[in-house]
Amino acid sequence: MSSFRRFRRLRQNEAIRSFVRENELHASDFIYPVFAVAGKNMKVPVKSMPGICQYSLDRIDEEIDRVVAAGIPAILIFGIPDHKDDVASGAYDHHGVTQEAIRHIKERYPDLIIIADVCLCEYTSTGHCGMVDKKGYVMNDETLPLLTKTAVSMAEAGADIVAPSDMMDGRVAAIREGLDKAGFMLTPILSYSAKFASAYYGPFRDAAESAPKFGDRKSYQMDPANSREAMREIEDDLEEGADMIIVKPAMAYLDIMKEARRRFEVPLIAYNVSGEYAMIKAAAQNGWIDEKRITLETLTGMKRAGADRIITYHAIEAAGWLCE
């Protein structure tokens, strides 16, 4: 009788490995970020994110067609307006770039789930996620009404889900109340509950043109060193009415995801952020890694840690690789 277990019996070929595999990726696991920009005939490559572009409304179908063809069920939409001001008026403008993009996409692709990012950073002249006082401090309570107006305007435009990413305290409760009063009681809130003040966001700020003009976001986004605080953030957002939660970033925060999965029985979304994407792309372009294998292994790790869905810029390519 053998004195040790032979784990290799279940690893001997791909058919056996596939048969006993604990976690699998599917195109239906992915959410693809899309950047809508004001203007016409615009397809603007994001230099720090190879393969990612900003699209004007008259060309955005080029990107959405690829999403639908890949079998990806949902997009996360961001808007880049042609005008920014101190009160982020473009964020809640009925005819704002994001609202018009949502209307267009929903009319053309009615079965595609549209998740609208709710934040002010793309629309403020300061680049911060909230209103700023004369001393440069990002004000919390004064920001909540504008976030609520933004969420309601996006729901009115046809967004299936709203996703507040600003990290102001109490914003989920304010948005839930605003949506309900406006008749959108069935619009779910996907909250960026555990969003850290991370250096991994750099390329996104190129894509969304949302870098802060001064200071940083450490007074409202979470300290990367804290995990227990993340659980309190998630718990509070759920109590305020969030239906789903996001952990952001993903790769360096798999412990947060794993603990959130253990504690909370709600849909959990990993955000595989821009810096994570850019690092893989840069290494692949230099011939240092196998891009396909690294990407699929990375995304599998997020699912293994407990993510039900993954927001990722790799989505279209990864969906294609999964079909090979």
Say which amino acid occupies 243: D
| CA pseudo-torsion sign 50, 319, 164, 259 | negative
Determine the Cα–Cα distance for residues 42 and 54; give it in Å rounded to an integer. 7
Instruction: For the chain, give the longest Cα–Cα distance.
Output: 78
The answer to whether 218 touches 167, Cβ cutoff 8 Å, is no
HSE of 179, CA atoms in CB hemisphere, 13 A: 29
| Residues 138-169 as b or e (16 or more Cβ within 10 Å = b) | bebeebbebbbbbbbbbbbbbbbbbbbbbbbe
Catalytic residue list contains 218: no
Q: Which of 195, 258, 292, 303 is catalytic?
A: 195
- CA nearest to 308, candidates 225, 236, 223, 243: 243
Alpha helices in the chain, H assignment, sequence order: 14-19, 60-69, 97-108, 144-157, 171-181, 202-208, 228-240, 254-263, 274-285, 291-304, 315-322
The active-site residue out of 43, 84, 213, 248 is 248
Reply yes or no on whether 248 is catalytic.
yes
**Closest by CA position to 271, among listed 205, 190, 206:** 190
38: which DSSP letter?
A: S
Q: Six-digit token pair at 169?
A: 């305290």
Which residues are known catalytic residues?
A: 195, 248
